[in-house]
Structures are given as structure tokens and as C-alpha cells.
Structure 1
Amino acid sequence: MDTALDQIGPRLRAARRDRGWTLEDLATRVGMSPSTLSRLESGKRQASLALLLPLTRQLGLRIDDLLPATPADPRIRRPVERRDGMVIAPLTLEHSPIKTYKVTFPPAEEAPAPRVHDGYEWVFVLSGRLRLALDGHEHIIERGEAAEFDTRTPHSVSATAEGPVEVVSIFSASGERIHTRGVEAQPDGGS
């Protein structure tokens, strides 16, 4: 298995080639023999700070740029939020460009007041029945069904009176702020 040090030579070579330089070009610029640079790039010579510092300076790199990034932990470890009877479980990392949540809505006799805001929302029903009020029309989305809508259209989502509904909701960033953090998150007070 390759170690981080095994990747230094190939990354040096790639940086040199990206600049259109030959072995001789870079070696001359840093006062090193082309054969030393060749052995370093091929992994036949161990990298040392004395060799790497002039090379990285000439190439406009940091030494860290020659090492592979530490892989991030892909697990989602964000807390579940409970608000207004809903359970909101994040399914994406905090800084993901698209926000995904598993949301459980409590039973509701009536649909909440419709809201309008920038964004898009996609919803998939895992269990129960979802009431989607969209532009004055009520739609019942059953288990296994999905819906997509522009949130600039007056809308509200809730469970029916029959029982809770569990959904996976995918939001654009602006839709996520409204639906998971509440109306107060919007600077103008609208929704």
C-alpha cells in the first residue's frame, strides 16, 4: 500500500509538468542535478526538507501540497432537532451544497399557513401520508411517492390527521434555512 511519502515524487513531477518545465529546467532553477530530481520524482531517492524546500518554493507550492489530504469522516454526526412537534434529522454534512433531512411531522387536522421563499424542495414519503398544500391546491403524497416544487409558489407541508408522516426532504440552501430553522432565520421576517 502506498504511503503519503510515496506520493511526493509523482506530485512533484505533476507540478513541474503543469508548468511546462523539463527536469533540467527545474533542477537548474533550484541548483540541483537533474539526476537527483529524477530520482526524487521516481521515488528512488528519499525526500528531505533540504531537497523539498527549494523545489516547493520554485514551484509555488507548500510542502503540504505534496501530501495527500487526510480523508474526512463521511459520517453525519449532527444533532437531531425537535421543534413544534417535528423531529428533524440531518442526513448531510453541515456544509453540503444540498441539504437533506429526514423529517417526522406530527398528525395535523389542518394544513399550516402557506409560505413563499426562494428555493426548491424535493420530498419523498417514507411512511404515513403527507399533505402538500401548493398554490391553493391540496395534494396527498402517499408512502413511496415523491414531489418536487418551486418554493416561490405558496406552499405548506404537514401530516394528515390520520397520523404522523416521515419524509426525506431535500432543499436548496435557501429552502433549508426556512424549513429547518424557522421563519425567524429570514432577515426580512417573511417566509
Structure 2
Amino acid sequence: MGLADQVGHRVRELRKEQGVSLSELARRSAIGKGTLSELESGRRNPTLETLYALTRALGVPLSGVLSAADPARISGEAVDAVLMDRTEDADAVTEVFRIRIRADALQESAAHAPGTEERIVVLTGTARVGPASSPLLLHAGEQTAWPADVPHVYEAPSGDAEAVLFVRYPVQRH
């Protein structure tokens, strides 16, 4: 099963488990109904931005639609990401991604679920990351963490940057 098929199947499965119609998920995620239908049927490759919009609307972490056992690269406006690991305990889901931030592009990420945190370790290059209101410039070997429940950015101002990104989503208790 390819990435488009895997993601489409999982999104449809989550939507149906939650009793959400295609129209309602399209509204919640601000993804067109036609686009969503193509994604669910595996006829369209998802972007990183689209997956975050859908998983945010479904209330699940990004790894809820991706598989660390069969890693695939997901690309966004400036970031290529591969899910390397997913760990879940009673308090949170933690995802580990290997990412490349492409030079001279800006990735603007919408706020994740309340309480979500991100931590990045820059392996090569220089990256500007963190809350959109106050991103930090990091060089190889440096790291930072920030609350990801606010809009945040990724940028590589002087050539591609490689990094490891940890995203920790608190378990939503109902």
C-alpha cells in the first residue's frame, strides 16, 4: 500500500469511527470536499499542511495517519519529514521525525492541539524555528523547544538544514 492509499484509508477510518461526514471534516479542516474525497480514495498525495489540518480536525497526532513501520517522506512548503518513531504512554504521544528544511522557503505551521510541544535538534545547517512571533536561529548542534499550540515556523535561511524534530501531544482526556 502506497502513502496515498495508507493515509486515505486511515483518514476515512478515523472519520467514520468519529461519526463525522465528509462535508463536516472538510469544513473543520478547511480542506475542499473534492480534495478530501480524492485523499480518502488514495487518488491524491497529501501534503504536510493538509495532513496537519486533517489530524487537527480529527483530534489525533500526525502519526495517527502515518506509519513509523513503513516510513514515507511527507513534504510541505519548506519541510520534508519522515516519521521515524511513535511512542505512546498514559500522558502523551511523542513522534520523532527526521526533517529537512529546504533553503529559502518558509513553513508556517498552524497551532496544534492545546499542550502540544515541539523540540528540534539541528544536525546540519542553520534553521530559524519556533513560535511565529519569536523564532530562534539555531546552528548545527543546537536545540530548542517551544509550545506548538501556537502558530510556529521553520526556515533555513542559508542552505538546507537537517534536524530531528520531536512532537509531544498530550493525551486528550474526555
- Scaled by the length of structure 2, what TM-score is found? 0.47
More helix by share: 1
Which one has a bigger Cα radius of gyration?
A: 1
Question: Which structure's relative contact order is higher, taking Cα pairs within 8 Å and 6+ residues apart?
Answer: 2
- Scaled by the length of structure 1, what TM-score is found? 0.44
More strand by share: 2
